[in-house]
Structure 1
Amino acid sequence: GIVPGEGGAALVLARLDDALHAGDPVLALVRGTAVNNDGRSLSLLAPNPRTQREVITQAYGECGIDPEAVSYVEAHGTGTPVGDPVEAQSLGHAFPPRADGLPRLLGSAKANIGHLLNAAGMPGLVKTVLALQHRQVPPAPNATPPAPYLQRVAPGFEPVTEQREWRAPGPLTAGVNA
């Protein structure tokens, strides 16, 4: 189930041209974002599967990233028996199995630090930036064995249960779902 955490995170964002001109280190590019509201769902804490699929598809469509290029997804991953299967199904809809046959890695910072409620997406974004920088994805504890529904609703996704080298045929590309 859900484990509340306390904390926050901050990132310094700059337009790429400005950062390069200033000589700032560029750790990652945020290509786009999308946000919506779940609207009507089973409860206040239960996600709406349709609107989750819509916002994921919207994010990739608006920023021009082909979901095929995404080799890692940092999931919201609350650890709840309702939310996680809905999120997995939404991710499976948005990301078909990769054509190169490699698994699409799946992680969630919440397994390490808990759910930071209103700041819930920030640790996942920071974790993803660090993973890009080091070309390594840290493990999510207690993710073994993977949930039995995962390969049924999100084929091709593989939870990261131990430190993994992050490889892809092109540039490393990630999604953060929060």
Structure 2
Amino acid sequence: MKKRYFLEAGAVLTGAALLSQFINPRAEIVASSNTEFEVTKSEEEWSKVLTKEQFYVLRKHGTERAFTSSLDKEYGEGSYVCAACELPLFKSDTKFNSGTGWPSFFKPIEGAIATTVDRSLFMTRTEVHCRRCGGHLGHVFADGPAPTGQRYCMNGVSLKFIPA
């Protein structure tokens, strides 16, 4: 009986986590993202200049599947810019292999990003945005390498790599 209860509870928690994006759509962040930034566009304008996946991640605060971005294994010299407005965000010498399946960096370019509190999925995280257009990039965690101890875990579709 205990095993059945455990499985049922696990199924309920998993379902709730998957549905939390609909329970807590974070409309306040999406709505403000078109009014507080240097680069502003309507939802329709963004959908015309971004791919479907970029729009989902950058404008709807989605997450791409792990290990699907070619940028995860990109280690050439250059910089990573916002896929929506091309603001330089990270330099290649701050990139590291976190093993998470997403491009990870230990330090952004000064003044390139903004952060907000993300309380979706029944947890509190720090969400990272492009400071110029408000596009959702990913999250930052305090488990990265020296010298900062930070892991900026970014969605590859939110970035473009520009070789040096």
TM value normalised by structure 2: 0.26
TM value normalised by structure 1: 0.25
**Structure ranking higher in strand proportion:** 2
Mark the structure with the bigger radius of gyration: 2
